[in-house]
Amino acid sequence: MSGFIDLQVNGYAGVDFNSDELSEADLVAACTELACDGVEQTLATIITAPMDQMVSRITRIADWIESVPEIRKQIAGIHVEGPFISPVDGFVGAHPKAAVQLATADAAERLLDAGNGHVRLVTLAPEMDSGAAVTRFLRDRSVVVAAGHSDASVDELDRCIDAGLGLYTHLGNGCPSQLHRHDNIIQRVLSRSDRLMISFVADGHHVPTFALRNYLRCMPTENVVIVSDAIAAAGLGPGEYQLAGQTVYVDDDGAAWAECRTHFAGCATTLPKMREILIRDLGATTTEINAWMRDNPKRLLGYTPATSAAL
């Protein structure tokens, strides 16, 4: 394939995109490593934090996209994951609960303004978006809207899909380890997989490969997207790393754990390694890999054949 398109990168090769100490040189170095690993373009992901911090982090990356050619070539835009997500334990995941808030158009507009046109994707929880008003607001401004870190009902999902929801972010994660055996967010989202793209972290930890195989079997292949959810630890092996001021521990098997060891905090596995896992453990074909890791995310972002040829 000509190159991966990764919609969710929180950091890479020792660089945390959510650090308030992030420098231009750091981001250039991370972009270089991403390119070396065959990643053609990424969305730099800014996660939930107090609003002023999110605005500052988004503004900084947007400024560098505009002014630094090496960054502009690699970073196609910004993915804002939060702060309009579920505050409930398990669903909130590694995001700081105190910074979570209900979705409002004013808050969303502040995040978009900080990005100066470079915010391409926003992940929110439909149950935090009353009447799907913010979903509609974002789609009217050509921003792709994803659900995630959510316990939305089927009705809430449908309402947001009707308003323009296009993706579900890393299904099987951002939810508690114990769920109702039938009526749970995974089953609800899969029931809408004919109307919604769904992204997965295919590292073998976030979703066991046998479960991922089941999920993929019941989905149209054109709606599958593989993301890395990479953090600074990506590609570096076991150790202690930072994600937005919190400590993350990467085990010998590559799993990235929050300090409390109750949930994952991003991912330390690169997309080339995920491709290997998908081929080796799931028997994915070249056609499927190309669709899941390049063509489908390009289509979600609205690339036309002409713009794709320029990538």
- Give me the half-sphere count of Cα atoms (radius 13 Å) on the Cβ side of residue 160: 30
Structure tokens at 242: 């930072």
Q: Among residues 229, 252, 253, 281, which one is catalytic?
A: 229
Outline where DSSP puts E strands in 61-128: 75-81, 119-124
**In 22-58, which positions are buried (b, 16+ CB within 10 angstroms) versus exposed (e)?**
beeebbbbbbebbbebebbbbbbbbbbbeeebbbebb
Q: Measured between alpha carbons, how far is 263 from 175 in angstroms, rounded to an integer? A: 9
Nearest Cα residue to 200 out of 236, 173, 232, 160 = 173
Paired with 249 in beta bridges are 240, 257
Residue 229 a catalytic site member: yes
Residue closest to 118 by CA, chosen among 51, 71, 188, 84: 71
Query: In the structure encoding, which two tokens stand for residue 162, read together?
Result: 């009707």
- Helix H or strand E encompassing 46: strand 39-47
Distance CA 142, CA 136 (A): 10
Alpha-carbon gap, residue 223 to 159, rounded angstroms: 19
Element (H, E) at 69: helix 69-74
Which sequence positions are flagged as catalytic?
Answer: 229
